[in-house]
Every structure is written in C-alpha cells, then in structure tokens.
Structure 1
Amino acid sequence: MKHQLRVVALAAITTLACAPTAQAVDFTRIGTEDAFRSYIADRTLVDEFGGTRVFAANGGIGGQQDRATVSGGWVWNNGALCHRTRLNGLEVELDCKYLYMRGNIVVMQQKRGRSTEESWTLR
C-alpha cells in the first residue's frame, strides 16, 4: 500500500512539474521593445499591496512601495525588460524579466523566465 501511494504521489508531482505555466496557456508574451512601449510604458502598474511602478518611455522608473520612493532605469535586452530599481535611493533589484499580459494583468517572470513571478494590474 505504501509503495502504491508513493507511485501515485510521484506521478502527481511529475504531472505538475510538466504542466505549462499560466503564461504559456493564458497570457501573451511581450517579447519586443515596441510591444512593451505600446502596452506598458508610461502607464501605472499596481501590485497586490498597492505599490506602484511606472516604466517611463524615456527609460526611467518611478513609483511607490510602502512608504518608499521607487526610482531607477530600464532597457530592453534580448526579449526582456532589464532594470535597476532603488527604494529611497538604495539599490534593491537588478534583473531582466520576461513579461506576459492578459487584459490589464501583467506578469513579470524574474531571471529571464527562470524564477518567481509577480503580478501587476495596469491602470
């Protein structure tokens, strides 16, 4: 009986590990700088906690996170949004993210799609 449970558990884990991510199924990848500029640049993104980001068309970043001021800069590189973000002047992130979009939801997948995701709502 224990062996059967292990086999079933292993099969379930394998199925989950091989399942496509939400981005691959429901979301459209933003893979070019032109698409990024058309859909996201100069618009406010809001996270689940009320934090904001604006990726300005001129390459700057602005916004608020908790009570801190967000600043920084971005460039488009090989299909990814690469940015340096600061909170109250202290660098907190340097990363290149793949972007996906469905309606007014934007998902950013860190480390060029190899790490965690964060969801934002476009305003």
Structure 2
Amino acid sequence: MFKIIANTLFLVALSAGTAQAWERVSTEAAFRALVVGHRQVVDGSGYIEVRADGSVRGQWNGAPVVGSWVWSDGYYCRNLRIGSTETGTNCQRIDSESGQIRATNDRGQGRSTTARIE
C-alpha cells in the first residue's frame, strides 16, 4: 500500500512540475508583447500577422487575409476579409501557454483556435 501511495505522489509531483496552464492575456500591453509582429500559425490552415499599426495580414486555406484589429475591454477584436469573404467583427478572449495562443470567439463563449507563435 505504501508503495502505491508513494508512486502516486511521485506522479502527481512530476505532472505538476511539467504541466503549464493556459493564462489569460488581459491587457493590450501583454497582447502586443506576445503577438504583435509575430506570425500565428495554425497547422494545415495558414497564418495571420497582427501588426502594430492595427492591421492584420496573412493567408488562410490559400486565400489572402486582410483586416484590422483593436484591443477593447480585455479582448482582441478583429474584422477580417479572407479572400472575398467578410468575417465581420469578433472580439476574442486570448490565452497563452508555451509559445502558443488560444483565441476564443464571442468574448470567450465560442469556438477556440490554437496557434503557434513564430
């Protein structure tokens, strides 16, 4: 019994030391430091680049991406055109973890996309 408990405690300690939790990006300054000027790459789909001047550029499923963004009330709000399709404005909750970001649509209530920051 002692051996089982010891092994369990060891595994818990090991996983606690290596696991990283997603952290909310809650300020524009933190968002800019993490994302602006870097590509956010979604394997198999494409990438976007969020720029300091408020523009967004990239490529998604072979189509060009153009648009604009602002930081509003703790959310990244962007309006994009992918090819000829307008996405409309969507404010996203941004979380980060080890060189990745997770953007969740509809102020954190919708679909999430995870991207690698390059």
Letter matched to residue 51 of structure 1: G
Deviation at 1:49, TM superposition (A): 1.2
SS at match of 2:37: coil
Partner Cα distance (1:65, 1:30) in 2? 24
- What is the root-mean-square deviation in Å for CA atoms of aligned residues? 1.3
- Give the structure-1-normalised TM-score: 0.76
Residue in 2 that maps onto 1:104:
99
Give the aligned length: 99
Matches within 5 A, 1:30-109: 30-109=25-104
Letter matched to residue 44 of structure 1: R
Asked if structure 2 preserves the Cα contact closer than 8 Å seen for 1:45 and 1:52, the reply is yes
Deviation at 1:93, TM superposition (A): 3.9
Deviation at 1:115, TM superposition (A): 1.1
Partner Cα distance (1:37, 1:93) in 2? 22
Q: Residues 118, 33 of structure 1: CA spacing in aligned structure 2 closer, same or farther, 3 A cutoff?
A: same
Asked if structure 2 preserves the Cα contact closer than 8 Å seen for 1:60 and 1:74, the reply is yes
Deviation at 1:89, TM superposition (A): 4.3
Partner Cα distance (2:71, 2:31) in 1? 9
Q: What is the percentage of aligned positions where both structures have the same residue?
A: 25
Residue in 2 that maps onto 1:29:
24
Deviation at 1:82, TM superposition (A): 0.3
Unpaired segments of 5 or more residues in structure 2?
Answer: 1-19
Deviation at 1:98, TM superposition (A): 0.4
Unpaired segments of 5 or more residues in structure 1?
Answer: 1-24
Deviation at 1:87, TM superposition (A): 1.2
Hey, which bits of structure 1, 4+ residues long, moved more than 4 A? none
- Give the structure-2-normalised TM-score: 0.79
Asked if structure 2 preserves the Cα contact closer than 8 Å seen for 1:71 and 1:85, the reply is yes
